[in-house]
Amino acid sequence: KSSLVSIAHLSKSDLTYLLEMGKEFEKHPNRKILDGRIVATLFFEPSTRTRLSFETAANRLGAKVIGFSDPKVSSSTKGETLKDTIMMVANYSDAIVMRHHLEGAALRASEVSPVPIVNAGDGSHQHPSQTLLDLYSIQQTQGSLENLNIFLVGDLKYGRTVHSLIMAMRHFNPTFHFIAPKSLEMPAEYKYFCQKYGIRFTETEEFNEDIISKADILYMTRVQKERFTDLMEYERVKDTYILQRRMLCKAKDNMKILHPLPRVNEISQDIDDNPHAYYFQQAKNGLYMREAILCHVQGITLNDIKSDKTILD
């Protein structure tokens, strides 16, 4: 049994193995393969998709769920440390899924926890389960993860999903295009990462139909209001990029728009029924990948899943 703290810890074969598991869960999401286990979800920051899809995944696999979605109801408000909280909850559970505003919180938790930790987002740092569902979505729509042109648009400074995605895609020879206002550009450490692993990338502030015409994947992101110390600066940049339907006129037929969600206004609502829009299915794919993650951290293998006799549907 092992934790899932950073996508960087997973090799290419780990990633493809987990994606294979996800496919098994798309075929049969309802099983009792985690019957008798308890999954704890500790969300110190707000979430809709990640928490509810992990909890749905646990329930569909026959596990029970404990936890909180509002840290105000936990003893952290009385000053209990993260270490003590994790050690307590580990007494009650077989795996802990946690989201925290501090970068490195999941790593710290994994160092003290006797049960596996799943990082459901730590500050602006990492969101590995999101990346796995992003990879699944890219593979499902493009037929392969190899040699793609991926455009990352919006808040590339604070957006943890784009940071994790770059790390995972290093195995698949991508070309990245970073589109962000200067103040929200991709942090130097991730550009250095690209250079280190020979990942091609371009940078621009421009966003128009000619740029979109080159994309296989257009990955839109929300400007992360909660990470700004200066709200005037947020107001200045929040509407920099709004994807409008007319901007898709030159898009490749199979280009897909991804977004980790929640959306504010960066994708016009009238795109939702456009064949290029994939973000709601992307979120749905999160259920299959989170079933795979929960099984993986419990030591259940792809072979166990393939030979599983507990399928209910």
CA nearest to 157, candidates 89, 217, 213, 229: 229
Written as one letter, the residue type at 33 is: I
- Contact between 259 and ligand CP by CB under 6 A: the answer reads no
* Binder of ligand CP out of 262, 264, 299, 304 (CB under 6 A): 262
73-112 in b/e burial notation, b at 16+ Cβ within 10 A? Answer: ebebeeeeebeebbeebbeebbbbbbbbeeeebbbbbbee
What is the distance between the alpha carbons of residues 311 and 94, in angstroms, rounded to a whole number? 22
Whether 45 and 99 have beta carbons less than 8 Å apart is answered as yes
The residue from 16, 28, 32, 47 that contacts ligand CP (CB under 6 A) is 47
User: For the chain, how long is the longest CA-to-CA vector?
Assistant: 57
Binding residues for ligand CP restricted to 83-122, rule: CB under 6 A: 121
Q: Give me 151's structure tokens.
A: 């455009």
| Residue of 40, 180, 261, 277 interacting with ligand CP (CB under 6 A) | 261
Q: What angle do CA 62, 3, 60 make, to 5 degrees?
A: 15
Beta strands at 149-153 and 175-179: parallel, antiparallel or unpaired: parallel
Smallest distance, ligand CP to C-beta of residue 309, A: 33
Region of 212 on the Ramachandran plot (φ > 0 left; ψ -120 to 50 alpha; else beta)? alpha
Neighbours of 265 (CB within 10 A): 13
**Residue 127 is a catalytic residue:** yes
Nearer to ligand CP, 130 or 285 (CB): 130
- Is residue 130 at the binding interface for ligand CP, with CB under 6 A as the rule? yes
131 binds ligand CP (CB under 6 A): no
200 is in an annotated binding site: no
> Catalytic residue at 28?
no
Comparison of 174 and 260: residue with beta carbon closer to ligand CP: 260
CB-nearer residue toward ligand CP: 92 or 280: 280
Question: Is 99 a residue of the active site?
Answer: yes
Instruction: Establish whether the linkage from the previous residue to 262 is cis, with ω within 30° of 0.
Output: yes
- Whether 78 sits among the annotated catalytic residues: the reply is yes
Q: 99, 108, 125, 259: which is the annotated catalytic residue?
A: 99
Stretch that binds ligand CP, among 135-143, 187-195, 215-223, 260-268 (CB under 6 A): 260-268
Site string for ligand CP, 206-245 (x = CB under 6 A): ----------------------------------------
Q: Exactly one of 31, 60, 125, 127 is catalytic; which is it? A: 127
Q: For residues 301 and 224, give the distance between their C-alpha atoms in angstroms, rounded to a whole number.
A: 36
Q: Is 170 annotated as a binding residue?
A: no
DSSP tag of 4:
B
49 catalytic per annotation: yes
d(CA 191, CA 75): 39
Residue corresponding to tokens 């421009």? 206
Report the nearest approach of ligand CP to the CB of residue 261 (Å). 5
Binding-site residues for carbamoyl phosphate, in ranges, read 49-50, 99, 127, 130, 261-262
Q: Which residues make up the interface to ligand CP (CB under 6 A)?
A: 47-50, 121, 130, 260-262
Catalytic residues, which ones? 49-50, 78, 99, 127
